[in-house]
Chain A
């Protein structure tokens, strides 16, 4: 008894399901082709021409029914797609569309690859895997150049040249270091920026330097009302001064006699003791400067202290 009842219930349920499914099933002779990426459906069935040739309202109704059927099929396909809830649990149901399958022509031709920039073309790795460089170990072929001795070992030549290049590079590097070191340890000249502690002469010197550093070497710079006009010294300073040939006979005579006296005297022109003392003093000054620099680097005080030292060019052999 119970079994029969259960079967009845099952049959009734199946019947209901079939009813429901009928509302969304559509019968078609040929299956439609779908391109879900474009939301496209293609129906190859020839339409019922008899009805569609009739009067207008009938035709509209038939077109609409056809459209409804096709749309139903398309929507069924779309609902089959993997869907998720966008924006959390309460968000709208969103289906992930596949890539469009129907091939449509492009708007513009595909972009041409850009030519590599000069840097991209010329860049060679400087270190590591496959680096550029004349590594003589990797040279498996060494052409004999035109004017060279045919008996000469080219590989040995490559190796020798590499060694020479390395040595030259190293020498230049050391020379640069020495020059930089020399430049850093020389006592700085009078600063051109205003500090609080410049004397009148220094300021005058700075003003003169500033005037001369224009393109016309200061010839057209406006002067203050009472500033004396300084013509460009024809003498050219100390080093570019040339005495006239026939001028001061007395001065010339005294100069020549002094020269002869120095040449004839047994006493050496260079006073060794004085030179050594001077050198010692210079070294002490350097050491003090280095120490002072280190200490002054830590604070602003370093800027305040100005060392108006004597230029090392002066002194030396004094007559």
Chain B
């Protein structure tokens, strides 16, 4: 329980606190979308569109909050604790950093990573006059470009974006419902984020042919400042409890081709005392009997 000094007095309060306490298998991460002291129209529109994409796992705060995340993180942490959100997107605008978006995540209600991105071009959901996909669709995520592997900051950004847009973790998915794809391309110091609606067309075989239709928010981003967590803090946050590891069954092994091997332990058998009279395959057939006694057996097998 977070507030260990305040023990819950009702069952409802207890359930509320249990939902927020650390668990083996965690809840889907919620995102909070906050406006800064001087957020302009572009940034507000961006926040509203991202909210539409991330519903219901996001909260959009309507009022402006005068804070500077890179200087003081306490107010962000307070919001995170109150609304139980571990991802945030903070939008602001000033002359030095126009159309600023700070995307970040928390670990244990403290800021883990923060990356400041500038929005150079923005096309909103409203501007693209195509049909949209239903709310809450799990998107397919594609990252193109070698920068996402080479550069450390880009790597963290990739991890952050996956965390942000991933949605709930599901065991199975309806194949016809794969409608939404978010495509990120890193090129020339810019990151192009595009969202497409997926149309599955008939091809001759089982796998359908994909056609894409532009839909949804598209952003051209530029990386500005970053505030990344130290290596050991990041490693600590990645640590998974041992109980989540799949339990290994003893005595069973798999080989490369997928065959399962097991080991059977038998007691030592005295082969001279094996019961062979009841095994039909070991019984002598009349043909063999006559062959033993002498003469050629008429039932010799033909070769070829």
Contact = CB atoms under 8 A, between A and B. Distances in A.
Chain A interface size, as a band, is: 35 or more
B204 interface: yes
B175 A78 contact: yes
A23 B209 CA distance: 7
A47 B205 contact: no
Contact of A104 (B139, B141, B163, B176): B163
B238 interface: yes
Interface string A41-57: 11111110100110000
Interface string B234-251: 101111110000000000
Interface in B168-200: 169-178, 181, 183, 185, 187-188, 192, 194, 196, 198, 200
Interface residues of B, number: 67
A263 interface: no
B283 to A, nearest CB: 45
A105 B107 CA distance: 8
A111 interface: yes
A39 B140 contact: yes
A110 B22 contact: yes
Q: Which of A66, A102, A104 has the most CB of B within 10 A?
A: A104
A115 interface: no
B181 A105 contact: no
A96 B171 contact: yes
A23 B203 contact: yes
A178 interface: no
Nearest to B29: A107
B109 to A, nearest CB: 8
Interface string B201-223: 00111111111101000000000
B149 interface: yes
B23 interface: yes
Contact of B210 (A60, A71, A111): A71
A114 B45 CA distance: 46
A43 B107 CA distance: 29
Contact of A38 (B106, B166, B196): B166
B141 A72 contact: no
Contacts of A19: 204
B142 A64 contact: no
The 10 closest A-B pairs by CB, nearest first: A20-B204, A105-B237, A110-B241, A108-B22, A67-B183, A43-B144, A107-B86, A111-B22, A39-B140, A72-B210
Interface of A: 16-17, 19-21, 23-24, 37-47, 49, 52-53, 60, 63-64, 66-68, 70-72, 74-76, 78-79, 83, 86, 92-97, 100, 102-112
Given A60-B214, A94-B175, A104-B159, 14 more contacts: A20-B203, A23-B204, A24-B205, A40-B162, A41-B140, A45-B144, A47-B145, A49-B188, A63-B194, A64-B212, A71-B142, A71-B181, A76-B207, A106-B237
